[in-house]
Amino acid sequence: MEHDVVKPRHFRRRQRSVDAAALLEMERKGLIRRGTGRLDREILETDPPGKPCGVVEALIGQRAAR
């Protein structure tokens, strides 16, 4: 019995720049929302609300419980 070999296709990604007109069109359609370029200092200077948690601490705690 003979088997067909399926070879993967290699797709080239089109590398094109998105110009202002394209961004404006996407924004008009509601696909994106462009920012103002400004960020409140409060966001950068304060910690996020809620209980602080870390991936490393959670992993260590999980492994210690075993």
pLDDT at 46: 85
Q: Determine contact, residues 25/31, Cβ cutoff 8 Å.
A: no
pLDDT in tens, 4-34: 666 666 656 655 667 888 999 999 999 999 8
Predicted TM-score (pTM) of this structure: 0.36
Q: Determine contact, residues 55/61, Cβ cutoff 8 Å.
A: no
- Structure token digits, residue 9: 């296709």
Reference 20, options 32, 12, 9; nearest CA is 32
Mean pLDDT for all residues in the chain: 80
